[in-house]
Structure 1
Amino acid sequence: MTNTATAGPDAVSSTALKPVPPASRINTTRVAGLITQLLVELGEDPAREGLAGTPQRVADWWNTFLSPDGAATATCFTESHVSGQLVVVGGMSVWSLCEHHMLPMNLQVAAGYVPVGEVVGLSKFGRIAQRHAGRLQVQERFTRQVADEIAGVIGSDDVAVAVCGTHLCMSMRGVRMESARTTSLHRGGRFGSDAVLSQQFVTFAAAQWNAA
């Protein structure tokens, strides 16, 4: 026998709870309406001067922040004489949202790879980091997603990604540790088997964070 629950007049239908495909933009009108409801539940007056345009501003921000999925494309340049070098791109700072509390987290990203015959346009690394940050995330998954996409671009697993994150879910709530930092590290291919190469990358990544 199947149990059936009867929804009240204010209940949200199961159809409305189905996730929107990642490539779709959000319905800003609907989101603005939900933000208006939230303000009411928080005891605010959405019609007062300071809040009059807030629901639409919040909806527009979500629409801008949430990035659609897409395959990486990159400009590569033939540079045969650089094969075997360690290239580290650091100083990449992106904002994301913790999926557990929907609070911001700032992620400082450093990515390294070993070129084989050609180098990748440097801006691609920042674009990859921004795309995976523009969604509800956890730092550990973000680190692996960035590494996997870079590996796909260069056609090699010789990729390392280090991320140092500041999470407002730790600073503003719970333990309220304002100085807490979380570090995650992915070492693929040679970075996992070559201790010297791995240490060089970690040293360069740490230097980037210390300089920030």
Structure 2
Amino acid sequence: MSTVSGTTDLEPAVTDEGREAADPLEDIARKLLIEIGEDPDRDGLKETPARFARWWREFSSYEAGNVDTMFPLRTQGQIVLIQDIKVWSLCEHHLLPFSCSVTIAYRPHGDVLGLSKFARITQRHAHRLQVQERLVRDIADEITKVTGSSDVAVIATGEHLCMSMRGIRTPAAMTSSVFSGIFEEYGPARQELVATVFQSRK
């Protein structure tokens, strides 16, 4: 990736006079508007390129903060279940949004992870170009790493605008999942998890 005045070509450049040049993403937005037959200088669109650039910067620069706060609590085999974490991500095939409701379950091996950390981890992996199958895998891998537990399950159900508003133009719900440790086998832990998740959606 080329650089200009010490910045990448996707970052706002700074001129020799110290003025901040327009964000390159604004230029991309202007070109897009022109290509679809719009006038980027008309009243309703004058600020659209700047808004477009700010949104992309905000989405792609999401900071999850601290995600590894643990609390001393001996659960003696208890399963912890966090349901319906709502996130938006972007389909890497069409650059269109998809929304997901994510459920995470794990069996602590010692200390427990702070509740808000599950949402932070989920948001971290959603704030990038994604596919839903990889999203659940990424979340599960980080939960395993942070908690030290190999007993982790992640289930996500999403609606993808790349299907709902283009192509077949039919809304549908897609569910993807990752099961490891005690959830991998079709035993009591997995049966309890799946029953709880799908019962809550009725």
By the TM > 0.5 criterion, same fold? yes
Q: What are the within-5 Å matches in structure 2 for residues 37-52 of structure 1?
A: 37-52=31-46
Q: Are residues 144 and 71 of structure 1, via their aligned partners in 2, closer, same or farther at CA, if it must alter by over 3 Å?
A: farther
Q: Are residues 153 and 25 of structure 1, via their aligned partners in 2, closer, same or farther at CA, if it must alter by over 3 Å?
A: farther
* Partner residue in 2 for 1:27: 11
Once the 2 structures are TM-superposed, how far is the Cα of residue 115 of structure 1 from its aligned partner? 1.4
Distance in 2 between residues matched to 1:182 and 1:208, nearest whole Å: 17
Letter in 1 for 2:125: H
Q: Is the 8 Å Cα contact of residues 109 and 148 (structure 2) preserved in structure 1?
A: no
Q: 2:187 aligns with which of 182, 195, 208?
A: 195
Q: 2:174 aligns with which of 161, 182, 190?
A: 182
Distance in 2 between residues matched to 1:25 and 1:77, nearest whole Å: 43
Once the 2 structures are TM-superposed, how far is the Cα of residue 127 of structure 1 from its aligned partner? 0.5
Q: Is the 8 Å Cα contact of residues 93 and 108 (structure 1) preserved in structure 2?
A: yes
Q: Which runs of 5+ in 1 are unaligned?
A: 1-14, 17-23
Distance in 1 between residues matched to 2:9 and 2:176, nearest whole Å: 30
Q: Is the 8 Å Cα contact of residues 9 and 24 (structure 2) preserved in structure 1?
A: no
Distance in 1 between residues matched to 2:144 and 2:157, nearest whole Å: 20
Q: Is the 8 Å Cα contact of residues 35 and 55 (structure 1) preserved in structure 2?
A: yes
Give 3-state SS (helix, strand or coil) of 1:200's partner: helix
Please give the per-residue CA displacement for 1:56-94, whole angstroms capped at 9, x wherever unaligned. Answer: 1011000111146889632111111x1201110012000
Distance in 1 between residues matched to 2:83 and 2:103, nearest whole Å: 4
Please give the per-residue CA displacement for 1:33-75, whole angstroms capped at 9, x wherever unaligned. Answer: 1111111111111000100000010110001111468896321
Letter in 2 for 1:193: E
Percent identical residues: 45
Give 3-state SS (helix, strand or coil) of 1:173's partner: coil
* Partner residue in 2 for 1:11: none
Q: What are the within-5 Å matches in structure 2 for residues 119-138 of structure 1?
A: 119-138=112-131
Distance in 1 between residues matched to 2:28 and 2:160, nearest whole Å: 26
Distance in 2 between residues matched to 1:155 and 1:77, nearest whole Å: 13
Q: Which has the higher contact order (CA 8 A, sep 6+)?
A: 1
Q: What are the within-5 Å matches in structure 2 for residues 1-212 of structure 1?
A: 26-27=10-11, 29-67=23-61, 73-80=67-74, 82-178=75-171, 180-193=172-185, 195-210=187-202
TM-score by length of 2: 0.86
Q: Which runs of 5+ in 2 are unaligned?
A: 3-7, 13-22
Distance in 1 between residues matched to 2:199 and 2:41, nearest whole Å: 49
TM-score by length of 1: 0.82
Q: Are residues 68 and 95 of structure 1, via their aligned partners in 2, closer, same or farther at CA, if it must alter by over 3 Å?
A: closer
Q: Are residues 71 and 153 of structure 1, via their aligned partners in 2, closer, same or farther at CA, if it must alter by over 3 Å?
A: farther
Q: Is the 8 Å Cα contact of residues 72 and 149 (structure 1) preserved in structure 2?
A: no
Q: Is the 8 Å Cα contact of residues 104 and 155 (structure 2) preserved in structure 1?
A: yes
Please give the per-residue CA displacement for 1:104-153, whole angstroms capped at 9, x wherever unaligned. Answer: 10010000000122211000000011010001100000010000000001
* Partner residue in 1 for 2:20: none
Q: Is the 8 Å Cα contact of residues 90 and 208 (structure 1) preserved in structure 2?
A: no
Distance in 2 between residues matched to 1:152 and 1:25, nearest whole Å: 34
